[in-house]
Structure 1
């Protein structure tokens, strides 16, 4: 059984994934890192040169391949839930944990991130977070087996919460 971390960027998936993998002696795989490795380009470069559809196609391939493995901690990109086939694949062999955080927490955590292109292209930083969360929240809710708030929680507390659900 895989442990799959879903949620918007800045909710703690990567950090929680590292600690969880270490604690459980499992391999951590980031879908975004795998996409970058395969494409030989950063995510902003992929999106600028080939578009979001191409990126999402790579993401779907990676999700399907990881779902065929067992015993992983999978740190998904924030938009992995946008395609139902990704969710379906990951749920076959995994338990999905939706990590949540307030808009303010997300903004403070990802404010300096240059590895992510704008998702809307026209909004302010906070407006973009709000708009994307409004669009994605129903998809995260539908996909999640468990919901874990990361606001005001230490990494240890979040990992303990996840472990208690397993």
Structure 2
């Protein structure tokens, strides 16, 4: 069984996934990191040269590959949920945790990160976050087994909440 983290950029997936993998003795796989390694270039550069569609195709192939493996903590890119097939593949051997945060928290955390390409290309960073979150909200909700807000919380607290949920009997692994 895999533990899959989804959520918008800047919600804490990388740090939380690192700590979870250590606590569970699982391998951590960062999807964006893996794609950068395979591409031999940054995501912004790849998207500039080949477009978002090619990036999403590569992401889907990786999701399919990871969905066939076991004992992973998977740190998904923020847009993995835009294709239903990705969630189907990742869920095939996994449970999905959605890390959430407010627009203000996200802007504070990643406002100066130039390794994250613009998703709209035309709006201010704050407007872009608001717009994309609004579009993706139903996709994140549909994809997850549990949602956890990361606003004003320590990584340790978030990890503990996920581990407590993860260690429940399989029939109780819901966010309700």
Residue 117 in structure 1 maps to residue 117 in structure 2: yes
Residue 10 in structure 1 maps to residue 24 in structure 2: no
Corresponding position of 1:106? 106
Shift of residue 153 of structure 1?
A: 1.1
Corresponding position of 2:75? 75
- Matches of 1:51 and 1:35 in 2, distance apart? 14
- Say which SS state the counterpart of residue 95 (structure 2) adopts: strand
**Unaligned runs of at least 5 residues, structure 1:** none
Corresponding position of 2:91? 91
Q: How many residues align?
A: 166
Q: TM-score, normalised by structure 2?
A: 0.93
- Say which SS state the counterpart of residue 15 (structure 1) adopts: helix
**Unaligned runs of at least 5 residues, structure 2:** 167-176
Q: TM-score, normalised by structure 1?
A: 0.99
- Aligned-CA RMSD value: 0.6
Shift of residue 164 of structure 1?
A: 1.1
- Say which SS state the counterpart of residue 11 (structure 2) adopts: coil
Shift of residue 31 of structure 1?
A: 0.6
The 5 A counterparts of 1:29-68 are 29-68=29-68
